[in-house]
Amino acid sequence: MNRHGPIPPIGTSGLPFQAARPHLSSARIKKLLLGHPALARILVIIALFLLWEGAARWWVDPIFLSPPSQVLTSLDTVFETRGVPAALRVTFWELAVAFAMSVVIGLVVGLAVGLSKFSYRSCMPIILLLYGTPQVTILPLFILYFGIGPASKIAFGVSHGVFPIIVTTVAGVQNIKPILMTAARSMGASHWQLFRWVIFPHMIPSFFAGMRLGMTGVLLGVLLAELYVSTAGIGYFTQMFTQNFDPTKLLGLISVLAAMAIILNEIVRRAEVYFARWRMD
Partner 1 sequence: MSTRQDRRVRFASRAVQFGFLVGLMALWYLGTAYWGVSHLLLPNPVKVWHELKDVLSTGEYLPDLQVTLTELAIAFAISCTSGVTLGYLISRSPYMIKVFEPLLAGIYSVPIILLLPLYVLFFGLGPGSKIAIGTTISFFPIVLNTIAGFGYVDRIFIVAARSMGASDLQMFRYVLLPAALPVILTGLRIGFIIALLSILGSETIASLAGLGHKIVHLAEGMETARMFAYIAFVVAIAATLNTIASALERRAQRQ
- Residues contributing to the site for partner 1 (CB under 8 A): 34, 37, 40-41, 44-45, 64-65, 117-118, 121-123, 125-126, 132-134, 136-141, 143-145, 216, 219-220, 223-224, 227-228, 238-239, 241-242, 245, 247, 250-251, 254, 257-258, 261-262, 265
Distance CA 164, CA 8 (A): 72
Contacts of 211 (CB under 8 A, 6+ apart): 103, 165, 268, 271, 272
In the complex with partner 1, the residue whose CB is nearer, 207 or 241, is 241
In the complex with partner 1, the residue whose CB is nearer, 122 or 182, is 122
Q: Check residue 12 and report its DSSP letter.
A: T
CB of 48 to partner 1, least distance (A): 9
Distance CA 56, CA 64 (A): 9
Q: Contact 201/278 with Cβ under 8 angstroms?
A: yes
Q: Contact 223/254 with Cβ under 8 angstroms?
A: no
CB of 220 to partner 1, least distance (A): 5
In the complex with partner 1, the residue whose CB is nearer, 223 or 232, is 223
CB of 242 to partner 1, least distance (A): 5
Q: Check residue 135 and report its DSSP letter.
A: G
In the complex with partner 1, the residue whose CB is nearer, 13 or 242, is 242
CB of 263 to partner 1, least distance (A): 11
CB of 6 to partner 1, least distance (A): 49
In the complex with partner 1, the residue whose CB is nearer, 71 or 97, is 71
Helices 247-275 and 200-228: crossing angle, nearest 10°?
170
- Separation of first and last alpha carbons in the chain: 72
- Going by C-alpha positions, the residue among 160, 70, 169, 65 that lies closest to residue 112 is 169
In the complex with partner 1, the residue whose CB is nearer, 86 or 144, is 144
CB of 176 to partner 1, least distance (A): 18
